[in-house]
A and B are shown apart, each in its own frame.
Chain A
Amino acid sequence: MKKFLAIILTLAMALSLVACGGDKPEESAKPEESAKTEESAKTEESSGADVYKIGVVLPMTGGSARMGELQYEGMKLFAEHYNEAIGGIQSLGGAKIELVLADSTGDPATGASEAERLINNEKVDALAGPYNSSVGAVMQPIAEKYGVPFTVTNCTADNVQMTEGELKYTFRPNHSNSSNVGAILDCLAFLQEKDSSVDLSSFAIIYENTDWGNSCVDTYAAALEAAGYEMKICESFESGSADFSTIVNKIKNSGAGFIMPCMYVSDAVLFMNQYTEYGLDNALIWAGGGILTDDFITSVGDLANNQITLNGWCVDTMAESNDPELCDWLSERCKEDTGSELNENVANGWIGVATLIQAVEDAGTKDKDAVAAAMKALDLGRDSLALLLHAYEGIKMGEKETWDGSGVMQNQNIYSAGIMTQIVDGQIRQIYPDWSGNPLVWPVA
């Protein structure tokens, strides 16, 4: 009867409360147990003294799942190495790094609610992630609002580090879109000089109709035009539904000097195939994205050779590392766990968490404001563990102007920069800044 219905309703409400209120009693007991650090008694919101919890938001499902998986691998390997080889966070008495993973599915709303859940329910000490610029843009105000240190990994769109007031808790150790502009322009000039028979004065840009694709146009295409390159074609497409035959045709007829595709793996593979089918011969300068993964190379086989792309990292970046043995270990483990070689995603995962942990070491406490202040004050050199994989001169958070000077990014690593790489014999090799001894195939026949 009617009571039955009302009972079900009440049960449903009760169930939902139990489901999320369940672990609270345990959480409040933990700080009392540990008398080690005074800080944990002060901040009732932190986890136990022997653990430093980092909430990781990454796309584990959806279109960027592979990149999310690789980024997480970088973070995971760092935590493992730090906990075992170094023995945990020294200034916190050996507190272990614990990563709590949440799936953003690549969707901003999901990412935002997962970030809130990590902060409020899991009581994490800091946030890391989230690979997708659109999710990062949404997580930044959340981190600022709740006052949680947030180390941004990948997520290269300029606007993630931009806000009207002061950015206190959000930091980005890896490069931004604006920093890529310099690399592209310099590289193009370099290639044009190397062989002037290839006309690079005009271009066609094809981009997926998402946040990242649009930011590519707003940054790269705009910067190229400003530098005097002629934009012959600027076309967007719906990711996943693409048949590029019309676009490819248009490009064929446009006489563009080079093509800049901004797309993830499946679209990149399809485009590569159709480019070959239609017999196009325009130079290809990719904007990163799907071409940075192993999957692209295995999917298109030989076609991948000689592809030039923007990148954040490649094996040559690692060549001057201060601990080659550790790098080998990382390589092996990454291959074992994910079936993929090291790439930009793994490297950015590493540098993101490493920088944060260095700040925690400096602060000597889990207190969020102190850690944030320590991040701001960081000034790491080439010998730092965080810079194991990257070739930046250092890590120092500061202000950086966007490429056209229209805005200012805060808490951006001022030494970060993009590089240009080319796939040679199935491997991604750096071609710019020019590292002597590196292979370069130009012009691409």
Chain B
Amino acid sequence: MLYLQTFIDALMIGGVYSVIAVGLSLIFGVMRVINWSHGESLMVSMLIALYMNQYTPLDPYVIMLIVGAVMFVYGYVLQSVVISRILSRETDREPISCLLFTAGLGMVMSYSVQIIFGSKQVMAQTKYNGRALHMGDLVVSLPKLIAFIIAVVAVAALWTFLQKSEYGRAIRATSQNRSVATLMGISEKRVYSVSFAIGTMLVGLAGGMLIPYFSVYPTVGSVFSNKSFIIVVLGGKGSVPGALLGGLIVGLIEKFGALFFSESVAQIIVFLMFIAILLFKPTGLLSKDKG
């Protein structure tokens, strides 16, 4: 029973990791850009959701949708106005400038929040806090379950969008071969902006779904971003099913590692696995090439 409980917990937390990582993966896959401020974007989303929850009577999951929309706009604007300028200067090599720029941006976001709001760790008060479903001996936390369901739905929706819709195909084409896609008439800049925006939107949704059970403080982003980086590499950059699988795997290692050893050891195992993947299958678990 203990194992089943651990398994369920692992899946639920893995699902949330996935939805955060998949945005990063998409951006990395399409634009070859690592958004180093991904974690801080999550923190800001959580902050907005927290305040909206405190001052408006809206249901936290409605707030989540609003924050998602806000973050979509933010990502779109950030990319089209700022990042595209930097990107256009890069050669075909991995764009380190974007990494550095977003690292600076992340620093500004995190420390500004600390100055303005202080470092207090605040937990949102919602009607879902502490509630759980009891199925015999099993306990399933309600806010985590809802987060898991939304996360999986979001990832599935994204995948469908990429596979079936016109825009989605344009995005996939660009990620496979930038120059050819442009020749085919696809606006590279537009694709980038939409991809980036989708990435930040997913982070916005994640922020909204986390607040019923996760505290908000200026450096909360780094907890998730470190894991996101690992998941992106694990699943293969640009791969949506890869990010989902990667998130679940990280969740499982964390929980079962903690069960058999301890939380700290579990963290180390996750990092070691990351190194192993980089060594043996750097293009990700689900990719077909040998990297």
Contacts and interface: CB of A to CB of B under 8 A. Distances in A.
A251 to B, nearest CB: 11
A249 B217 contact: no
Interface string A224-251: 0000000000011110111101110110
A273 B6 contact: no
A66 B120 contact: yes
A214 B238 CA distance: 42
Contact of B114 (A61, A235, A278): A61
Given A63-B121, A249-B5, A278 B217 contact: no
A152 interface: no
A270 B143 CA distance: 13
B139 interface: yes
Given A63-B121, A270-B213, A236 B264 contact: yes
B9 A269 contact: no
Interface string B210-233: 000111010110010000000000
Contacts of B139: 277-279
A92 interface: no
Contacts of B258: 246-247
A65 B118 contact: yes
A65 B259 CA distance: 32
B262 interface: yes
B6 A266 contact: no
A246 B255 contact: yes
A236 to B, nearest CB: 6
A240 B219 contact: yes
A277 B130 contact: yes
B193 to A, nearest CB: 33
A282 to B, nearest CB: 15
A420 B133 CA distance: 34
A269 B223 contact: no
Interface stretch (A11-19, A38-46, A160-168, A295-303): A295-303
A89 interface: no
B13 interface: yes
A264 B264 CA distance: 18
B148 to A, nearest CB: 13
Secondary structure at chain A's binding surface: helix, strand, loop or mixed? helix
Contacts of A274: 141
A110 to B, nearest CB: 14
A62 interface: yes
Contact of B2 (A236, A247, A249, A270): A249
A120 interface: no
A197 interface: no
A191 to B, nearest CB: 26
Given A246-B6, A277-B132, A278-B139, A238 B267 contact: yes
A8 B220 CA distance: 39
Interface string A130-174: 000000000000000000000000000000000000000000000
Nearest to B213: A273
Nearest to A235: B262
Contacts of B9: 243, 245-246, 249
A240 B134 contact: no
A57 interface: no
Contacts of A34: none
Nearest to B215: A266
Give the residue among A241, A242, A246, A295 with the most B Cβ atoms within 10 A: A246
Contact of B119 (A61, A235, A250, A276): A61
Given A245-B9, A277-B141, A299 B264 contact: no
Contact of B122 (A246, A277, A299): A299
Given A61-B119, A265-B121, A299-B122, A235 B213 contact: no
Contact of B123 (A63, A266, A278): A266
Contacts of B6: 245-246, 249
A246 B263 contact: yes
A250 B259 contact: yes
B4 to A, nearest CB: 10
Interface string A201-231: 0000000010000000000000000000000
A62 B119 contact: yes
B179 interface: no
A253 interface: yes
Given A63-B119, A65-B119, A299-B123, A279 B217 contact: no
A270 B215 contact: yes
Nearest to B16: A243
A269 B217 CA distance: 13
B202 to A, nearest CB: 20
Contacts of A63: 119, 121, 217
A277 B223 CA distance: 23
A243 B139 CA distance: 15
A266 B259 contact: no
Contacts of B267: 238, 241
A246 B120 CA distance: 26
Interface string B250-280: 0000110011001110010000000000000
A210 to B, nearest CB: 12
A303 B215 contact: no
Interface in B81-110: none
B89 to A, nearest CB: 25
B287 interface: no
B121 A245 contact: no
10 contacts: A236-B262, A243-B13, A243-B254, A245-B6, A245-B13, A246-B6, A246-B259, A249-B5, A269-B121, A279-B134
Closest 10 CB pairs of A and B: A266-B121, A266-B215, A246-B258, A277-B132, A245-B9, A65-B119, A237-B263, A241-B223, A273-B130, A278-B139
Interface of B: 2, 5-6, 9, 13, 114, 118-123, 125, 129-132, 134, 139, 141, 213-215, 217, 219-220, 223, 254-255, 258-259, 262-264, 267
Interface of A: 61-63, 65-66, 209, 235-238, 240-243, 245-247, 249-250, 253, 264-266, 269-270, 273-274, 276-279, 295, 299-301, 303
Given A246-B259, A269-B215, A270-B213, 14 more contacts: A65-B120, A66-B120, A240-B121, A240-B223, A245-B9, A246-B9, A249-B5, A249-B259, A264-B121, A266-B122, A266-B217, A270-B214, A279-B139, A301-B125
